[in-house]
Chain A
Amino acid sequence: MSELPADIVLRVDDLRTYFEAGSRVAKSVDGVSFDVKRGETVAVVGESGSGKSVTSLSIMRLLSAPGRIVGGDILYRTSDGRVLDLARMPEKAMRGIRGQEVAMIFQEPMTSLNPLYTVGDQIMEMIKIHEPVSRMEARKRAKRMLELVEIPAAERRLDEYPHQMSGGMRQRAMIALALACNPRLLIADEPTTALDVTIQAQILDLLRRLQAEIGMSILFITHNLGVVAEIAHDVVVMYAGRVVEKASVDALFDNQKHPYTRGLLACIPNAARDRSESGERLRLNPIPGSVPSILALPEGCSFAPRCSFTTAECDQNPSLLAAGPDHLSRCWRHEIL
């Protein structure tokens, strides 16, 4: 299992994470595979319920019961070059990975920090868990982290509580916390979804700059294709627990080879496109229907009920098919798209 190409930090291979309650099995993640290269960003895109967050929690091994990884590998290359399978690590060894090697930031900056401790204490705690440093030293590093994420008056902010900060400021503090131990991989689970667009742009900018400076890899979970265009190198589109399309960001925005991806892009309102010739506003283009329940997936292609390209073939679920160089699509008709 140690044959992992040198430029790859994380390889998720045929990951299957199920939630089992009695005889009912929700296959939230069903055979997902992708690679994250060193210093690059992979965006995982999909609607709520597509399994993107469960994928990220599986990598961190922070699934809550009854969620369980039932198969597949999560190969990770540590900073000292060892290749570990996170899917099978004992819980105790996993603690050395979390925060130190793989760190995570979350969607809700308002609630992701503990309201009862100062921001400084929470960053220092992270450092002291993983490194034998003095309180003074930890505080100095925490201050440097706040400066790194461009929080003004870092010294004073260290002693502030989360409720004294704005949402954007808290997300910066959260990023400072996550990066405090120089992780090689940052998992960002919808980190900008709860923020204003202006703040969102600032945070994306910050992440991109930090990536260039520190050289970390980012696994970016989002439902927002606009954000993907900003930050990703590669894109993985998920639907109902499976990868439906995978490509580099340029190839994907150039030519979508899966009707779902095409639908997602068409959903983004566009003032110029959504006008008729006489200048009237046209209706938006939502994807009809909604994500099927993971407990009752349709036979065959799970997107077929919402798809306008279906043929008889779609009764059979396709595997990921090559749709171009480094471009995979789970659609029988990717050639005509």
Chain B
Amino acid sequence: MSRYVFQRLLGMLVVMFVVVTIVFIIVRIAPGDPAAVMLGPDATAQDVSALRTRLGLDSPIIVQYGIFFGQLLQGDLGESIFLNRPVLTALADRAEPTFFLTLFSILIAALIAIPVGIMSAYWRGSLFDQGATTLAMLAASIPSFWLGLILIQILAVRWGVFPVSGYGGPGASLMTRLSHLVLPAISLGVVSSALILRFTRASMLDVLNDDYVRTARSKGMSEFRVIMKHAFKNALIPVLTVIGITAALLVSGAVVTETVFGLPGVGSLVVSAVLRRDYPVIQGALLIIAALYVLINFLIDMLYLLVDPRVRY
């Protein structure tokens, strides 16, 4: 078991190292001189070259890489060009809405997808199954921002149940802040549920024909118990995997939804950074999102341990 954990940890480090290197290279080979971009079209060649020296852009690429890596290890993601503050604190200030939005979206997605997926598989080919599969296809085909706009129109503008946009302004209570997340979480959750539903259904269909399910029935237990205790637990591994992938996609994919709902999250920070070519922020956000990706995958690997004894040996 400790071997398994060690292997995953090692894999995680290797992936992060590769990610850091790729991010470094991408930012360096992007067209345009960051110094020139920062100073604007009116800057003199002298100013630009001075800034290049200050930013360390004139040293050899390998030296730049060494410095970049050394700073990273100390948790230093550099300074934002436009915000006049460290990238790390800029990202940290925006982390809360993104974190909760991702968490709620994935919860909503799983709570819809798993029960419906199980029932769909159990009553395969029934009206319920056909309806669920069709709705899942529909959910997968609509963009989350469109669903978001519809939800705002009906639940926020017409009925006034939830706030239209924003995050409650400075000093808003946790409840107020969370109430701003309900509609975006629903729109992301519904759209993401489609994939999880299809995986749950397919995985259940696989295990429902397995011999141990027949054994469970031959023991005289209720059908509900056969399905939940014996079948679903075996179907869980692929479902966990796709939930992990979906969660990771949500972290990066929330950008548009955050913009639609005016949420001050990491996504909207990245969008403005891209528009202003704020390279350190883009670079930092890429690294943080990649790190979250890797971390979520690691957590899913650890969940396998809990579910499947065969992984432990």
CB neighbours (8 Å) of A298 from chain B are: none
A115 B220 Cβ-Cβ under 8 A: no
CB neighbours (8 Å) of A94 from chain B are: 220
**9 nearest interchain CB pairs?**
A98-B220, A99-B220, A114-B212, A111-B211, A99-B219, A104-B218, A95-B220, A112-B211, A161-B309
CB neighbours (8 Å) of A96 from chain B are: 220
CB neighbours (8 Å) of A100 from chain B are: 220
- Cβ-based interface call for A247 (8 A): no
- Cβ-based interface call for B52 (8 A): no
Q: Which B residues from 53 to 103 make CB contacts under 8 A with A?
A: none
Q: A98-B220, A99-B219, A100-B220 are in contact. Are A163 and B211 (CB under 8 A)?
A: no
- Cβ-based interface call for A130 (8 A): yes
B221 A129 Cβ-Cβ under 8 A: yes
Q: Which B residues from 188 to 236 make CB contacts under 8 A with A?
A: 210-212, 214-222, 230, 233-234
Rounded to whole Å, the gap between the CB of B73 and the closest CB of chain A is: 41
Q: A108-B211, A116-B234, A116-B307 are in contact. Are A164 and B220 (CB under 8 A)?
A: no
- Cβ-based interface call for A314 (8 A): no
CB neighbours (8 Å) of B313 from chain A are: 163-164
Q: Could you tell me which B residues sit within 8 Å of A by CB distance?
A: 210-212, 214-222, 230, 233-234, 307-310, 313
Rounded to whole Å, the gap between the CB of A173 and the closest CB of chain B is: 11
Task: Find the B residue at minimum CB distance from A110.
Answer: B211
> CA separation between A303 and B233, bound complex, in Å?
46
Can you offer 22 A-B residue contacts whose CB atoms are under 8 A? A62-B214, A62-B218, A98-B218, A98-B220, A99-B218, A100-B220, A106-B211, A106-B215, A112-B214, A113-B215, A114-B212, A114-B215, A115-B310, A116-B309, A129-B221, A161-B309, A161-B310, A163-B309, A163-B310, A163-B313, A177-B215, A177-B219
> CA separation between A129 and B230, bound complex, in Å?
14
Rounded to whole Å, the gap between the CB of A214 and the closest CB of chain B is: 18
Q: Could you tell me which A residues sit within 8 Å of B by CB distance?
A: 60, 62, 94-100, 103-104, 106, 108, 111-116, 118, 125-126, 129-130, 161, 163-164, 174, 177-178
B219 A111 Cβ-Cβ under 8 A: no
Task: Find the B residue at minimum CB distance from A178.
Answer: B218
Looking at chain B's contact residues, the main secondary structure is: helix
Q: A116-B308, A116-B309, A163-B310 are in contact. Are A106 and B214 (CB under 8 A)?
A: yes
A95 B210 Cβ-Cβ under 8 A: no
Task: Find the A residue at minimum CB distance from B219.
Answer: A99
B217 A62 Cβ-Cβ under 8 A: yes
A112 B220 Cβ-Cβ under 8 A: no
> CA separation between A9 and B270, bound complex, in Å?
75
> CA separation between A178 and B216, bound complex, in Å?
11
CB neighbours (8 Å) of A125 from chain B are: 219, 221
A114 B220 Cβ-Cβ under 8 A: no
B210 A129 Cβ-Cβ under 8 A: no
Rounded to whole Å, the gap between the CB of B91 and the closest CB of chain A is: 40
A97 B211 Cβ-Cβ under 8 A: no
CB neighbours (8 Å) of A108 from chain B are: 211
Selected contact of B221 from candidates A95, A118, A177, CB within 8 Å: A95
CB neighbours (8 Å) of A113 from chain B are: 212, 215
> CA separation between A129 and B225, bound complex, in Å?
11
> CA separation between A300 and B294, bound complex, in Å?
68
Rounded to whole Å, the gap between the CB of A117 and the closest CB of chain B is: 8
Q: Which of B211, B220, B234 has the most CB of A within 10 A?
A: B220
> CA separation between A164 and B240, bound complex, in Å?
25
A111 B210 Cβ-Cβ under 8 A: yes
CB neighbours (8 Å) of A174 from chain B are: 215
Rounded to whole Å, the gap between the CB of B265 and the closest CB of chain A is: 38
Rounded to whole Å, the gap between the CB of B202 and the closest CB of chain A is: 18
B219 A112 Cβ-Cβ under 8 A: no
> CA separation between A126 and B221, bound complex, in Å?
8
> CA separation between A164 and B233, bound complex, in Å?
19
Q: Which of B212, B219, B221 has the most CB of A within 10 A?
A: B219
> CA separation between A164 and B310, bound complex, in Å?
9
Q: A106-B211, A108-B211 are in contact. Are A114 and B216 (CB under 8 A)?
A: yes
Rounded to whole Å, the gap between the CB of A156 and the closest CB of chain B is: 15
Task: Find the B residue at minimum CB distance from A91.
Answer: B223
Selected contact of A115 from candidates B217, B219, B222, B309, CB within 8 Å: B309
CB neighbours (8 Å) of A95 from chain B are: 220-222
Q: A111-B210, A116-B307 are in contact. Are A98 and B215 (CB under 8 A)?
A: no
Selected contact of A114 from candidates B218, B222, B230, B307, CB within 8 Å: B230
B215 A115 Cβ-Cβ under 8 A: no
CB neighbours (8 Å) of B233 from chain A are: 116
CB neighbours (8 Å) of A129 from chain B are: 219-221
> CA separation between A108 and B219, bound complex, in Å?
16
Rounded to whole Å, the gap between the CB of A316 and the closest CB of chain B is: 39
